[in-house]
């Protein structure tokens, strides 16, 4: 086995409702994975039901219909799009396409741990650079590749345009992860016209409520896009998932209504959390807060609420918890438990 496999930490996906059910907890509220808590619109469900009749057949490996919809949605050329089985899968393919052993990769922290994971797997030299509150500045940094995330997971803030430009000037390649961009209403897709070395990552898992379907895509200049398309698994996306994603893009009004609801609930959660903790600024569908209680996450867990303990993530000093914005009723219960825990 390769030496590096022993060195890499297993990706920690947090706790799942199934884990709590096995602990004998009845009512479970999942606020740990930044999913959209609302289901996709009925049109998506119906389309998937129809598509299921064809699952004895392979999907077309080019996924032309899906890419045409994405091209229209993102206002980019068809040839700039690559697809994959979730953004995580594309991250791995990007590392395969770009990285040689010992290449210098910069990962501003605190951020998504999978960037380091995929880079280490290619035997790259990863440098995690800490920026307080993910206020990234790459003016004086350089290397083969830098990973930016906007809005950033887990802090929730976006990066500014100058940071993306600096990154594109100073690094051979830039991966900008926009998994949560729709929640912020802020994207850097227009910079693709100016920078040949910029790769933007998107997903249907968060905003479009299709985490279980595993559909992600990247936008980049055509030669990078072609390389990703060549190296990815030929039938990377199930035909059910491709169909779901296509129909989701036909229902943008629905998602805009859901977005507004989520933003309102996020601000409500923020106000209440600020009574007890420091809460980071967020433009995403989750909040990061700092606390000083030893077992806060367990206190919530006992009461059926799953939060993401991000304590120990490089760049975060002290205890930190990330909480996803849930549905209205879920947020109510979360806030009740919050008060209960803090007032005993
Ligand atoms: C959730 C998440 C992803 C993974 O998305 P998938 O498409 O479900 O693989 C990628 N990047 C960030 C920052 C995320 O939070």
- The pLDDT score that the predictor gives to residue 193 is 97
Ligand 1 centroid to Cα of residue 271, in Å, is 27
Ligand 1 centroid to Cα of residue 11, in Å, is 12
Q: Mean per-residue pLDDT for 110-115?
A: 97
- The pLDDT score that the predictor gives to residue 215 is 98
With a 6 Å cutoff on the Cβ, whether 74 touches ligand 1 is no
Ligand 1 centroid to Cα of residue 47, in Å, is 24
Ligand 1 centroid to Cα of residue 189, in Å, is 18
With a 6 Å cutoff on the Cβ, whether 177 touches ligand 1 is yes
Ligand 1 centroid to Cα of residue 154, in Å, is 11
**What is the share, in percent, of the chain residues with pLDDT greater than 90?**
93
Judge residue 8's burial from the number of C-beta atoms within 10 Å of its C-beta, 0-12 exposed, 13-18 middle, 19 or more buried.
middle
Q: Mean per-residue pLDDT for 168-194?
A: 98
- The pLDDT score that the predictor gives to residue 20 is 82
Judge residue 17's burial from the number of C-beta atoms within 10 Å of its C-beta, 0-12 exposed, 13-18 middle, 19 or more buried.
middle
- Residue 154, token pair as written in the block: 């887990």
With a 6 Å cutoff on the Cβ, whether 203 touches ligand 1 is yes
Atom of ligand 1 nearest to the CA of 203: 7
Ligand 1 centroid to Cα of residue 342, in Å, is 32
pTM above 0.75, yes or no: yes
- How many distinct helices (H) and strands (E) make up the chain? 13, 13
* 132 — pLDDT class (breaks 50, 70, 90): very high
Atom of ligand 1 nearest to the CA of 91: 10
289-318 residue pLDDT tens: 999 998 999 999 999 999 999 999 999 999
262-273 residue pLDDT tens: 999 999 999 999
- The pLDDT score that the predictor gives to residue 335 is 98
> If you count them, how many residues does the chain have?
344
Contact between residue 88 and residue 205 where contact means Cβ atoms under 8 Å apart: no
Closest residue by Cα to atom 14, ligand 1, is: 179
Atom of ligand 1 nearest to the CA of 206: 1
Given a cut of 80, is residue 344 above it in pLDDT? no
224-267 residue pLDDT tens: 999 999 999 999 999 999 999 999 999 999 999 999 999 999 99
Ligand 1 centroid to Cα of residue 114, in Å, is 9
How many CA atoms within 13 Å lie on the side-chain side of 335? 19
Q: Mean per-residue pLDDT for 48-70?
A: 97
Atom of ligand 1 nearest to the CA of 152: 13
Ligand 1 centroid to Cα of residue 152, in Å, is 11
Mutate to test the pocket of ligand 1, among 90, 91, 112 (most ligand atoms within 8 A of CB): 112
* 209 — pLDDT class (breaks 50, 70, 90): very high
With a 6 Å cutoff on the Cβ, whether 166 touches ligand 1 is no
Ligand 1 centroid to Cα of residue 290, in Å, is 23
* 14 — pLDDT class (breaks 50, 70, 90): confident
With a 6 Å cutoff on the Cβ, whether 113 touches ligand 1 is no
Domains of the chain in start order, with CATH, are 2-39+252-342 (3.90.1150.10), 42-248 (3.40.640.10)
Angle between helices 252-273 and 328-343 (to 10 degrees): 10
Give the residue ranges of DSSP H helices in the chain: 3-7, 17-22, 42-51, 64-74, 87-98, 114-121, 161-170, 181-184, 222-231, 239-249, 252-273, 296-302, 328-343
With a 6 Å cutoff on the Cβ, whether 86 touches ligand 1 is yes
């Amino acid at each position: 086995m390769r030496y590096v496999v022993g060195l890499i930490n297993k990706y920690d996906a947090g706790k799942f409702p199934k884990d709590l059910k096995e602990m004998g907890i009845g009512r479970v509220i999942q606020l740990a994975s930044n999913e959209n808590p609302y289901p996709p619109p009925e049109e998506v469900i119906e389309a998937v039901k129809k598509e299921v009749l064809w699952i004895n057949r392979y999907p077309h490996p080019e996924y032309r219909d899906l890419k045409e919809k994405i091209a229209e949605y993102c206002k980019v050329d068809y040839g700039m799009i690559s697809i994959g089985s979730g953004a995580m899968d594309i991250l791995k393919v990007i590392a395969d396409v770009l990285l040689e052993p010992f290449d210098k990769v910069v990962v501003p922290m605190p951020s998504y741990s999978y960037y380091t994971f995929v880079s280490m797997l290619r035997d790259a030299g990863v440098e995690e650079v800490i920026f307080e509150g993910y206020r990234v500045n790459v003016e004086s940094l350089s290397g083969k590749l830098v990973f930016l995330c906007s809005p950033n997971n887990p802090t929730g803030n976006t990066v500014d345009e100058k940071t993306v430009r600096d990154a594109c000037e100073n690094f051979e390649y830039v991966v900008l992860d926009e998994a949560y961009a729709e929640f912020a209403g802020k994207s850097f897709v227009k910079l693709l016209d100016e920078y040949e070395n910029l790769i933007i990552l998107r997903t249907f898992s968060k905003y479009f409520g299709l985490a279980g379907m595993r559909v992600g895509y990247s936008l980049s200049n055509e030669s990078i896009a072609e390389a990703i398309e060549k190296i990815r698994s030929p039938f990377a996306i199930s035909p059910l998932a491709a169909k779901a994603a296509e129909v989701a893009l036909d229902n943008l009004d629905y998602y805009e209504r859901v977005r507004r609801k989520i933003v309102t609930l996020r601000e409500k959660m923020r106000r209440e959390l600020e009574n007890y903790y420091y809460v980071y600024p967020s433009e995403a569908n989750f909040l990061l807060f700092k606390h000083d209680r030893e077992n806060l996450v367990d206190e919530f867990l006992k009461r059926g609420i799953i939060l993401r303990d991000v304590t120990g993530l490089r760049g975060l000093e002290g205890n930190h918890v990330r909480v996803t914005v849930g549905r209205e009723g879920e947020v109510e219960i979360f806030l009740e438990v919050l008060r209960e825990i803090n007032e005993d």
